[in-house]
Structure formats: C-alpha cells, structure tokens
A and B are shown apart, each in its own frame.
Chain A
C-alpha cells in the first residue's frame, strides 16, 4: 500500500491561521455586542450558568482543596528549615488568590466546558441544526454563543472565589494538623498579606478566562467540518487552544497588573 504525502505551502498555512484568528475575533466581538441587542435569552443564560457553574462545582471543590493542601505541604517543608512555618498562611494565601485559584479553576472548567460547547455546537453543525436555526430567523450567535459567554464569565468568577476559599482551608488543614500551626495565627497571616492588587488580580482573571473558554469552545464548535470525526477533532482542539490561551493571557495580565500597580 502506497502512501502519498501531500506538501502544504507555508503561505497556505499562514493564510488559514490568519483566517481562523479573524473568524474567532469576529465571533468574540459579535458575542459581546449581542449583550446590547434584544432578545437577550436570559433563560438560556440561566440554564448554561447551571450547567457550567453548578456542574463544575464538585471538580472545583476537589482541586481547590488539594492544590491549597499541596501548596502548604510543599512550602512548609522548605520553610521549616529556616524556622518560618508561620509564613505558610501568607504563601498559600498569595499563591491561591492571585495565581493558582484562577488558573486551576480556569483550566478545570476549560477541560470540562470548552469541550462540551465544542461538541454540542459541532454536532448541531453536522446535523444542520444551526442552518435550521438560521432558516427559522434566529441568530445562532445570539441564541447559542452569547448565553454561554455570559454564563461562563459570570460563573467562573464565583467558582474561583470558592476554589480560593477551599485552597485556604486545605492549606490550613495541612498547616494545623501536620505542622501544628495555630488557627488564629494562620488565618491572620492569610488575611493580612492580601492587598487590593492581589484581590483585583485574582478576580479579573476568571472573567477573562471565562470569556476565553466560552468563545474558543463555541468557535471550534461552530467551525466544525467533517461529520462525527470533525466533532471529535473540534472538541480536542477547543480544550488545547483554550488551555494554552489561558496560560498565555494569565502571564500578560499578571505582567500588566504589575506594571500598573507596581511590584510588591
């Protein structure tokens, strides 16, 4: 059996990438503009908020708790050498609120929901349901994309707060039970180390990550081609692209906030 290897011109690849970026940008802009156009499909938004927010709660609780506990465990063994076990609270607090809470929650929700959105919309594309919706006079971006964008950004904000809190509780468990740290001492250091900039950083990120997860998931879903195999491909690409984009945006947002508010 002979295999033929088809060579693709780098210009064609660059053109495809530029086209994908253009389409993604247009879809994202349109999904935002739809918030100012009637109808708003509040029912669909609430349904998506339930699916994304309440549905993701168990995984966020589990990861939040374990990341906080692991952060405390790993840092405590180093801090112990310098007699600084009392600093565990500060370390867990800063790490969870500014970085790990939003990042881990974003990645977990991306894995769970970007794939769900891509497969759901992708299936609707291959079975002509999106065409049917357009033929019935309904804008699929307004009916399907905008409620998902609104619901993901809104719910990720609260899921991150829950993950942060559980991370702090996980850290407290380790610090108190394994290293004998006093309860009041831990929670006082957790509270005192945080300044406005940290809380602002920790709460602006989930909104951006939620926007990325939903727009990337919907974009890959809507641009699905090639039947069920295409749906599978879109699902995988949506998870990979949204996760990578979250990591990149996380770096630049952190850098920007440092530039605005200054370093500690």
Chain B
C-alpha cells in the first residue's frame, strides 16, 4: 500500500539544501517480499519543529523511523539527517551520527539484563564519563520522567508505561539534536499517556 506523501514545511528548499533540515526524506521507497511499505515518501523536518505521523497499523511508521537513523536501508530515494546523507553512510559512520539522535522504540527495547540506571546511562558509559557525573545525570533525567524510585530495578519489574518512560529517559539523557518517538503512547491508558506527552 503506498503511504501518503507527507506535507512539506518548505517545499522550495528540498531540491537544493538538504542540510537545512533536521530530517529530509527524498522520494524514499521500501518493500518487503514484494509488499511495498513506503512508496515515494518525501518530507522535510526543519530544526526545532515537531512532526507527528499518523497511520493504521502496518502502514510503515516504525519503518520510516528506522530508515531515518539508518537501521534499515531504503530500496530507493535519499534520506538526510542533520545534513548527512544516511543512505550513503557506512554502518561505522552511522554510529557517530546516531549519537546525535535519540529514538524511543515502540516496545521500549530496554536491555533486560541491565538495571534501569544502566539502561539510562548506557550512552554515557560508552562515552567514558565519570561515575559521579553519570549518577547525577541519570537521577536528574529519571526525576524528569517521575521514575527516580526505579533507579535500581530491572525492566521486567516495571509496567508498560514505566518502561516507555525509562526509554524516553534513555533517549533524552544526552540531549540529542533530533528525537524520534515510535508510538510513545500506544497501548497505554489515558493517564499514563498524558504523563508521557
């Protein structure tokens, strides 16, 4: 099913200046086993703006987000994130770019063998930041999502909504330039949804 083309905030700029946007999709298509999931998608997301994507289940919303950070490669078209052409980058170069982008997966995708603070601090630990600084920032961001009490818990001990908020904490701890949320309130009750939003 061809997905609808999203409206562009600034159509005139799309042809010449991909680096002017936080994210730009240019005629992107992808199919899985003959089934076309995204067909000629083009849109731009300027810096500092928010774009919401709506669609029925299976219409390719998650695929689009995964394409944006290079977890998948499109069959055709070009994708630019923070001025870099994701579709041409090697996996090693993508690791660098992804450190500037945060993503919250639909099912949270927390590391189940790590505690909450280790999950949230994962990227900071990789960067070799001191233990004191890591603890301070983890507590700060967990306080922001109202889950400081879960610091020492495992993801399996948390509810679905709590897991989603921990995933948000993990995504925002490094203050990334672009944040991607995959159905952040999907399957949650209205109260938890409001807390997340």
Contact = CB atoms under 8 A, between A and B. Distances in A.
B30 interface: no
Contacts of A131: 66, 71, 105, 109
A136 B122 contact: yes
B95 A129 contact: no
Contacts of B105: 128, 131-132, 135
Contact of B95 (A39, A128, A139): A139
Contact of B71 (A127, A129, A134): A134
B96 interface: yes
Interface in A128-166: 128-129, 131-139
A137 B126 CA distance: 9
B112 A135 contact: no
Contact of A136 (B66, B96, B98): B98
Nearest to B114: A129
A28 B38 CA distance: 34
B61 interface: no
Contact of B98 (A123, A127, A134): A134
B197 to A, nearest CB: 22
B157 interface: no
A207 to B, nearest CB: 28
Contacts of B170: 136
A42 B187 CA distance: 40
Interface in B47-102: 66, 69, 71, 91-92, 94-96, 98-99, 101
Nearest to B100: A137
Nearest to A130: B109
Given A134-B98, A136-B126, A127 B92 contact: no
Contact of A132 (B95, B111, B126): B111
B123 interface: yes
A123 B112 CA distance: 10
Contacts of B111: 124, 129, 132-133
A129 B109 CA distance: 5
Contacts of A124: 111
Residue of A39, A129, A139 with most chain B CB atoms under a 10 A cut-off? A129
Interface in B111-131: 111-112, 122-123, 126
Nearest to B126: A138
A15 to B, nearest CB: 15
Contacts of A127: 107, 109, 112
B138 interface: no
B109 A137 contact: no
A138 B111 CA distance: 13
A137 B92 contact: no
Contacts of B122: 136, 138
A259 B44 CA distance: 65
Given A129-B112, A131-B66, A131-B109, A136 B123 contact: yes
A135 B126 CA distance: 13
Residue of A123, A127, A135 with most chain B CB atoms under a 10 A cut-off? A135
B142 interface: no
Nearest to A123: B112
Contacts of B107: 127-128
Interface of A: 39, 123-124, 127-129, 131-139
18 contacts: A39-B126, A127-B107, A128-B105, A129-B110, A129-B112, A131-B109, A132-B109, A132-B110, A133-B111, A134-B71, A134-B94, A135-B71, A135-B98, A135-B103, A136-B122, A137-B96, A138-B95, A139-B95
Given A128-B107, A134-B94, A137-B99, 20 more contacts: A128-B105, A129-B109, A129-B112, A132-B103, A132-B109, A134-B95, A135-B103, A135-B105, A136-B98, A136-B123, A136-B126, A136-B170, A137-B95, A137-B98, A137-B126, A138-B95, A138-B122, A138-B126, A139-B91, A139-B92
